[in-house]
Structure 1
Amino acid sequence: MNAERTRIEVAVAFAVYQTYTYVVPEEMQPLVRPGKRVLVPFGSRQITGYVIGFPAGDPEVEDLKPVSDILDDTPIFPEEMIPFFRWVADYYIHPIGDVICDALPGGINPAEYATYERPEFIDGELAAGDDRLGPLEKRIVAVLEQGPARAAAISKKLDADVTHSTLQKLERQGWIHKKKQLHHARTRHKTRRYAVLSRNPSHPSTWENLSEPKIRILEHLSENGETAVDRLKQIVPTAANHVRDLCGKGLLAVTEKPVYRDPFGEAVEPDTPPKLTGEQQRVINEVAGAMNEGFAAFLLAGVTGSGKTEVYMQLAAAAIEKGRTVLVLVPEIALISEIERRFRARFGECVAVLHSGLSAGERFDQWMRIARGQSPIAIGARSAIFAPFARPGLLIVDEEHDTSYKQEGRLHYNARDLAVVRAKQADGVALLGSATPSIQSVNNVASGKFRELNLTRRIHKQSLPEVHIEDLRNHKDVRGTGRFITATLHRAVKETLARGEQVLLFLNRRGFASYPVCASCGAPQKCRHCDITLTLHKKANIYKCHMCGYFRAAVSACDTCGAKSIKQLGLGTEKLEAAVQEMFPEARTARMDKDTTSRKGALIKILKDLRNGEIDILVGTQMVAKGHDFPNITLVGIICADLSLSFPDFRAGEMTFQVLAQVSGRAGRGTSPGRVILQTYNPEHFSIVSAQQQDFMRFYKEESRFRKALKYPPYARMVQIKLAGKQKESVTGHAQELGRLCQQLTRGENERCRQVQVLGPIEAPLARIAGRHRWQILLKAPTAAALQQFVRRLMAENPAAFSGREVHTAVDVDPFFMM
């Protein structure tokens, strides 16, 4: 027996903060390794766990439960990632098992679930006549006559809320039985069946009694060797049946081999590195030189069109030459196809991609390619920060300012910040690039945490676009499309099209009409489940909620008075596209937003058509503002620059400046000069003026003054406690009680806890989403350590406040979404 491997430390995929120790049966000990998944007993259940180490100390195993099974032949993540997982769990105050589960490709863990069935000796009439059962309980027993069902299925069939306590009561009384089943993983290796002649095949002279199709299969295998069974179907359509018979006769052997699911589209032509500008070469020399010196973090501030992507590729080549791996993060899936195409043209098939747009199987295959060391370069959106590299040497975060790097799911992490952490743990280099760096990153430069690099000129020495501000207050009395496509913008579009150049019109709001109101009573048409108005999507002929996805037919009557006359107020990209098509009927117009790019391949087609000159005017949301390079776009029209300025969020000015500067940077990247028409109701606002002048430092100095005065990040640290539940009174009471506990903790003896400022509790700006009422508490402190200690103590002393069934309570460290 290997004493070191008799016990393992396991992080279970469950909402518990500690890890557990299990004993390893002797026959499994040679197979157990950190990074593998195991099936372990947990209470009365069997759940997935992750081996993260071997406990030190006395190998006493009498009181420990044994591992049920080892699920992997090879580790699914490298042992070197375990300190990273521990850091993430500690900093974001999240169960480590859930951290690992969220990091891995979805659908790979087996799951245990319960089904309910009716015993054979129980019939519906017996239950119906028993006065001890209530009406719902009798219906539950009756519906199980159709066969076993899970709790959710019973609720759906009865159209009623069937609670677990009701099912447990029926089980105790003997009316129903609960049966536990292990459901295998949905995602696994894809395999392909191959046929080959057996090692001792009979002589062809003995094939006489075989049918002609069988003989043709044997002859093909004799001449060509091992062949996939689905390929044999091209020779004999019924090959599968014949192969089975031939195997039974001992003439063939069939094996299964893993098949790689290729997520890439069309092949790309190899490229050659272009000649670098002096600025690019200086940046590459400094970063490449730091690769031999251990950890370093750089902020690359480069104007739009300055060649940051080429810098990334040259540095990736330098890292690979040194035997290190490379991770490239981009903020959205929309950008991955562009940067992936350029990296594949330079590095070939050694590039892997990781993002939620892949199928579960494709993502699993890409993950395993990285884990096996077959892909030294990985490109992906925020979830790719967990790519299974042992010691990544270069971590690149493109458009580092983008809020899309913040995950708003169960684990509230920021991939940009984690890239710096991974680089530090691996003695690697983190390179954060942007034309409009975040206030946080610029402050890290000022404090000496990051080193600053600059690209101040476009690669072909083009000038930055001229930005003209159009004051929409001067058009308030205009009717029709002139309210949002001013005469200045209309004239500029007409002139641009006449020169054979392309136009980009930006409006960060999708749909046709964003504020439908009843013409009779004036009531806005709201979502049934959220405190937000519905948006008309004219092409789909529905009203849709952009928060929860609820929709109803566009011919629906007013919820308040029943009238059918609805005024379609407000503006979205669909209405803008329709107006543009009416104004410029000869122009080829396309729209790029979430609605038009949801189908697989749709986004790539739009980008390809734009690149090939088959689109004259592109209408889009912020998807068009990030990272795309289209040399023939010479005019950018910003329809309304003020949409994000009114958000109840201290970052509203920063987000507005960044998106305006980014979308302006799409103009004039080719040989022709660019021009931007920026329409706004707030032409004097410093965010608008700074975007017009493309002067980040002016914006930074002004914004920093406000942040320092109000003690907002990066000059303080924040944690947001989010509360949500279906019953408004329960959520309100829970929030107020938790707020009282927070205030009580600030008055205690602990020095760090007294540093914390409690804001709230208060109802969230969006007070109801998806039928759940929402409250929030903001905690501010000078240091992250003070907040960490405060929240941990709050959770330890009041565990019931964070584990209630009626009210869900979540902790968001360094929050972004304040709505």
Structure 2
Amino acid sequence: MNNGINEFVNMHSEKKYAEIVILEYNFDKIFHYCIPQDLKDRISLGSRVTIPFRGKETIGCVVGFLTRSDVKNLKDIRQITDKKPLLTPQVVRLTKWISNYYLCSWEKTLNYVIPKTRKSWLNKFDIIDISPIKSTRLPEDDKSWDNEIIFSTEEVKERPHLKDIENIIKNRKCKTVLIRGNDFSSRMKIYLSCIRKTLKEGRQAIILAPNESHLSELAGLLEKEFKDNMVIFDEKIDQKAKYQKWIKIRNSQVNIALGMRSSIFVPFDKLGLIIIEREHSSLYKEERSPRYNAREVALKRAELENIPLMLSSETPSVESFWNVHENNFIEVDLNAKRERESLLKKTIIDMTKEKSKKKIISYELQQAISRSLKNKRRVVLFLNKRGFSSFMICSQCGHIPKCPDCNTSLSYHLDIQKRAQLICHNCGKRAKVTDVCAKCGSKEIRPLGMGTQKLESEIRKMFTRAEIRRLDRDSLIRDDDYRQILEEFKKGNTDILIGTQMVLKGVDFNNVDLIGIISADTLLNLPDYRSGEKTFQLLSEVISSFREISFSKEVIIQTFNPEDHCIVALKEQDYNYFYQKEIELRKELDYPPFTHIIKIVILGEDKEAVKQRAEYLISYLESLRKDKESAGFKLLGDVNMVLWKSRNDFKVQFLIKVKDLEKFNQAFKKKYDKMLSKHFDQKNRLTIDVDPLRMI
């Protein structure tokens, strides 16, 4: 579809034919229909329409208009479903981009974006019956807002980059600002100032948060000023309520939308600003089709609508900070050393120097826990069990066997005959398990693995009189368990709380003076090129849990690799050092942001059927190398194909590295539908993930 041509048709020519994507069939095709005379004035881009298809009536979405069509015997559109389209033309174009970029059908993308509706709701929430909100926009000839100050002179003097934000907002430039800061209140002041300015100009704002807890925090602050002018899409919202709020937005009843990743699609007519809080969060990546990343979609929407985008994070994604260094983004650094930070002590424990190599808790951490309990303080022990993948480690020198090609740790596996082997989950390379460390020659090399249950058992043996609770998904049996565990800890009825990432969401750290990070290595050595970044971000979040420091506190990090750049950066809380080392590694090994990665997974109940389809897919990809219109790419996992059992299915995975993603995708999609319908079905499933955040 040529958007430029279609816009010309909309503005200057009669709309004779509509390009329609059928929403009730999984076709990645556009169908042409005639527009009856009585519908020509009412039909628009994004309109849902009732159309005849294969002898039945079905629903489609209008994605373009034509003055002529080469298709013969075209049928008429029967009726328009909504009084006003649920999507704006800009959002329709955005869904087309998502379909092309993330290798997903346009039908699936539109169905994901359009809120679910029932016929009974269409009349009940009739758009025409709702009066629009009174605009706060100044008259067109009033240019007083051009000279209006967003930030005070004192604020700009303290943080000169605020002037850049002010200029971008005033001039409505399509520019991305990365706000880097550990002070949430300072970030919030910037958000509020920019939102006020945007609303005063008669424009609208979208604010995204990664999860419910951060959404609630933002909502509490925004509602104080904008309660009657905003809608909130939280995770508890049902389809009916979502549709109601969508209609309010579509009719300009409200000018602010706050929500999680899917709120990036809300259909504002005059969008003026997008804000993404904690842009580095992996929760902005949708794991279901169309598998988009809300941050990347926001970048594209800001470009399409020519508006500013504000990203913020204490520990930005490597891709975003790379864009700062490439002068694509503007950085505003709000980080400031607080006076009370001297009260926070950060200690790194080198586990290779522990006398007992099999101990989970080091002697120093054990002593620190004893001191805290003696002083009537609380202790939090953090172990991210859910991110664990078994790998080999030498407890003498800390060496971990890695793939020579991918630089990711080799995963420890037992085959059907219970024989141990090491496998690279990226390229499939295998290696033998040896009894001797390749680096130091020690025989102290073994698989490293532990969970919160094992940790709890060890802690109970050490501290028999302490009240100990565990907070992870396995410990939550009843609906009320989560709230009850947090309440008991807050009251002081729990001395030691052991947990995974869940402890970061609601734990009251006021009376906590010790956080113990049991094993930084379980995260650091995931078979994933992002493992260093994920480790630094997650453990930085654990450390920043001590936001308000009124007495001495300590964070103890146990690791077999104290010299790793992530661990060094964590101790010093130095993001710049971490980024510099990480980006050097990425460039050397050709990982994002220097290339794109596409993860392809085939799942099926029958091992041979999965293998056959994998071989066909490999031959299909190899055929693209001969296509002059395709981009060059590197395929990983085809030579040393690994099939492993995942629950009840057999699974095989491939990775594609490609620099020119747009060119590759165009070539890949040429015969993709035919391949999909011929070789894949409900029993043998194919999933494609562009720019994945999880490699396994």
TM over 0.5: yes
Assess, with a 3 A threshold, how the Cα gap between structure 1 residues 488 and 322 changes in structure 2: closer, same or farther.
farther
Q: Give the TM-score normalised by structure 2.
A: 0.75
SS in 2 for 1:644: helix
AA partner of residue 647 (structure 1): L
Say if 1:790 and 1:50 are closer, same or farther in 2 by CA, change over 3 A: closer
1:341 aligned partner: 220
Which SS does the other structure have where 1:643 is aligned?
A: helix
CA contact (8 A) 2:82 2:122 kept: no
Aligned to 2:164: 286
The partner residue of 1:89 within 73, 94, 99 is 99
- 1:705 maps to 584
State the match for 1:36 in structure 2. Answer: 47
1:694-733 pair list within 5 angstroms: 694-733=573-612
Measure how far apart 1:512 and its partner are: 14
Structure-2 residue corresponding to 1:785: 662
Amino acid at match of 1:99: T
Unaligned runs of 5+ in 1: 110-183, 192-256, 259-272, 516-530, 534-568
Indicate if the aligned counterparts of 2:32 and 2:69 stay in contact, CA closer than 8 A. Answer: no
CA distance in 1, matches of 2:318, 2:225: 33
Counterpart-to-counterpart distance in 2, 1:360 and 1:467: 47
Deviation at 1:417, TM superposition (A): 1.0
Structure 1 residue 603: deviation in Å? 6.6
- Name the structure 1 match of 2:524: 645
Provide closer, same or farther for how the CA distance between residues 784 and 407 of structure 1 changes in structure 2, counting only shifts above 3 A: same
1:590-601 matches, within 5 Å, as: 592-594=471-473
> Are 2:649 and 1:772 equivalent residues in the alignment?
yes
Cross-structure match for 2:634: 757
Match of 1:408 among 282, 287, 299: 287
The alpha-carbon deviation at position 484 of structure 1 amounts to 3.5
In the TM superposition, 1:397-796 aligns within 5 A as 397-457=276-336, 462-463=341-342, 465-475=344-354, 477=356, 483-496=359-372, 502-509=378-385, 571-573=450-452, 576=455, 592-594=471-473, 618-625=497-504, 633-746=512-625, 748=626, 750=628, 752-753=630-631, 755-761=632-638, 767-793=644-670, 795=672
Match of 2:441 in 1: none
> Quick one: higher RCO (CA 8 Å, sep 6+), 1 or 2?
2
Q: Deviations over 1:540-583 (max 9, x none)?
A: xxxxxxxxxxxxxxxxxxxxxxxxxxxxx964445656776787
CA positional deviation for 1:30: 5.5
- Does structure 2 conserve the Cα–Cα contact (< 8 Å) formed by 1:779 and 1:787? no
1:732-755 Cα shifts (integer Å, max 9, x gaps)? 111122212322332x261753x2
| Alignment CA distance shift 1:727-1:69 (3 Å) | farther
Note the C-alpha offset of 1:468. 0.6
Match of 2:31 among 20, 27, 31: 20
Q: Secondary structure at the match of 1:712?
A: coil
* Cα pair distance change 1:779/1:609, threshold 3 Å: same
Task: State the distance in 2 between where 1:468 and 1:809 align.
Answer: 46
Q: Taking structure 1 as reference, are residues 4 and 290 closer, same or farther at Cα in structure 2, changes over 3 Å only?
A: same
Cα 1:340–1:190 change in 2 (3 A) is farther
Tell me what 1:149 maps to.
Answer: none
- Alpha carbons of 1:389 and 1:491: their partners in 2 closer, same or farther (altered >3 Å)? farther
Are positions 1:108 and 2:117 aligned together? yes
Shift in alpha-carbon separation, 1:367–1:16, aligned structure 2, 3 A: same
| CA 11–613 in structure 1, closer or farther in 2 if over 3 Å, else same | farther
Q: CA deviation at 1:406?
A: 1.5
1:100 Cα shift?
Answer: 1.5
Structure 1 residue 460, shift from structure 2 partner: 6.8
Q: Structure 1 residue 80 and structure 2 residue 90: aligned?
A: yes
| CA deviation profile, 1:182-236 (whole Å, cap 9, x unmatched) | xx68x87989xxxxxxxxxxxxxxxxxxxxxxxxxxxxxxxxxxxxxxxxxxxxx
Whole-angstrom distance in 2 between the partners of 1:60 and 1:496:
79
How far is the alpha carbon of 1:609 from its aligned partner? 8.0
For the residue of structure 2 that corresponds to 1:715, the secondary structure is coil
Letter of the structure 2 residue corresponding to residue 83 of structure 1: R
How far is the alpha carbon of 1:715 from its aligned partner? 1.1
What root-mean-square deviation, in Å, do the aligned CA atoms of Structure 1 and Structure 2 show?
4.2
Greater shift, 667-676 or 649-658, is seen at 667-676
Contact 2:389/2:522, CA 8 A, preserved across alignment: no
SS in 2 for 1:8: strand
What amino acid sits opposite 1:108 in the alignment?
T
Give, in whole Å, the separation in 1 of the partners of 2:630 and 2:14: 40
In 1, the alpha carbon distance for the partners of 2:500 and 2:240 equals: 30
The CA deviation string for residues 633-685 of structure 1, in whole angstroms up to 9 with x for no partner, is 54322122111223221111221122122211212533335421112232232
Does residue 10 (structure 1) correspond to residue 20 (structure 2)? The answer is: yes
| Match runs of 1:256-267 below 5 Å | none
The answer to whether the 8 Å contact 1:690/1:696 transfers is yes
Whole-angstrom distance in 1 between the partners of 2:47 and 2:617: 39
- 1:622 is paired with a residue whose SS is coil
Alpha-carbon distance in 2 for matches of 1:457, 1:809: 48
What TM-score, normalized to structure 1?
A: 0.65
Task: Give the distance between the partners of 2:79 and 2:334, measured in 1 at CA.
Answer: 54
Superposed CA deviations along residues 502-537 of structure 1, whole A, max 9, x for unmatched, are: 54332212699999xxxxxxxxxxxxxxx999xxxx
Residue 729 of structure 1 and its aligned partner are, at CA, apart by 0.9
| SS class of match (2:657) | strand
Report the CA distance shift for 1:582/1:275 in structure 2 as closer, same or farther (over 3 A): farther
CA displacement at 1:351 relative to structure 2 = 3.3
Q: Is the contact made by 2:523 and 2:534 (CA closer than 8 Å) also made in structure 1?
A: yes
Cα distance in 2 for partners of 1:367, 1:469 equals 50
What SS does structure 1 have at the residue aligned with 2:562? coil
Q: What are the Cα deviations for residues 333-376 of structure 1, in whole angstroms up to 9, with x where unaligned?
A: 34222222222234334332224443333333333333332332
CA distance in 2, matches of 1:425, 1:598: 47
- TM-aligned CA distance change 1:37 to 1:703, over 3 Å: same
**Cα 1:701–1:478 shift into 2, 3 Å:** closer
Whether the aligned pair in 1 keeps the contact of 2:14 and 2:67 (CA below 8 Å) is no
What CA deviation, in whole Å up to 9, does each residue of 1:231-262 have, x standing for no partner? xxxxxxxxxxxxxxxxxxxxxxxxxx99xxxx
Structure 1 distance, partners of 2:322, 2:387, is 37
**Which residue in 2 is equivalent to 1:47?**
58
Residues 34 and 741 (structure 1 numbering): CA distance in 2 closer, same or farther, change over 3 Å?
Answer: closer
Residues 371 and 388, structure 1, Cα contact 8 Å, conserved in 2? yes
Contact 1:279 1:455 in 2 (8 A): no
Cα displacement string for residues 751-786 of structure 1 (whole angstroms, at most 9, x for unaligned residues): 753x22222337887833343322222222232234
Q: List per-residue Cα deviations over 1:386-416 (Å, max 9, x = no partner).
A: 2222343222222222222221211121111
Residues 564-618 of structure 1: per-residue CA shift (max 9 Å, x gap): xxxxx96444565677678778877665545678988987887788788887655
Q: Is the 8 A contact 1:295 1:427 kept in 2?
A: yes
Displacement of 1:290: 0.6
Q: Quick one: distance in 1 between partners of 2:176 and 2:493?
A: 41
SS in 2 for 1:417: helix
Q: Does the 8 A contact of 1:11 with 1:19 survive in 2?
A: yes
1: CA distance between counterparts of 2:476 and 2:164?
Answer: 39
Query: Aligned residues: percent identity?
Result: 29
Given that 1:505 and 1:617 are in contact with CA atoms closer than 8 Å, whether structure 2 keeps it comes out as yes
The amino acid across from 1:676 in the alignment is: V
